[in-house]
Amino acid sequence: MTLPLILGSGSKYRREILDRLHLNYDVVKPDIDESAINSESPQQLVGRLAEAKARAVEKRMTYDDAIIIGSDQVAVCDGNILGKPGNHENAVQQLSSFVGKTVTFYTGLAVLNTKAQQCEVRVEPFEVEFRQLSTEEIERYVELENPFDCAGSFKSEGLGISLFSGLKGNDPNTLIGLPAIALLDMLRTHGINPLNKD
């Protein structure tokens, strides 16, 4: 019998991915300090925070044991780590700084088996090449999609695709904050596979 699955995230975008994968899960929001540590690389940051979120959920869950998913994401441009913009002005500023550049997104993914006390962590990169954009296009995009809760200030599953000249990576779900290919691979080692009948 497989253990219950918990998504340690308040993100509606991550929930949508799990729904599309036909996984049964509960949601527990982690409450952690997401500040970077001095000299920490983006990869180290998202890997550490993904595991920290899973561990925080473990302390709050009502199950005896479970499989917990933790995830964290940052965008990196010109060596600067960028998070969620939070408002219109910051979103426009972020997108303006991306024009004609490549932005790398790093998504940390942790799968914690509380019964076995095993935690696997992976970091998935994904590159986005931004095309030349006018100020009017950027303003119009932000006005239409309000991407204030998205790292990088865009929704790749929506109109955000109009901002790009190219994409490079293993799994486009990585841009939404949950690398589905890697996640399914990790879950199969714990007996969770949506293609298997119960």
Per-residue model confidence as pLDDT tens digits over 133-176:
999 999 999 999 999 988 889 988 889 999 999 999 999 999 88
Residue 198 has pLDDT above 80, yes or no: no
Considering 26, 31, 33, 72, which one is annotated as catalytic? Answer: 72
* Residue 105, both tokens: 């997104």
72 is catalytic: yes
Average of pLDDT values for 44-52? 96
* Residue 115, both tokens: 């019964």
Residue 58 has pLDDT above 80, yes or no: yes
Average of pLDDT values for 18-44? 92
* Residue 35, both tokens: 């500040």
Distance CA 95, CA 109 (A): 25
Residue 113 has pLDDT above 80, yes or no: yes
- Do residues 95 and 135 touch, judged by C-beta distance below 8 A? no
How is the chain split into domains, by residue range?
5-188
Residue 131 has pLDDT above 90, yes or no: yes
pLDDT in tens, 76-103: 999 988 878 999 999 999 999 999 999 9
The share of the chain scoring above pLDDT 90, in percent, equals 78
pTM of the shown model: 0.89
Question: In this predicted structure, what is the pLDDT of residue 37?
Answer: 87
Mean pLDDT, all residues of the chain: 93
Fold of 5-188: Maf protein (3.90.950)
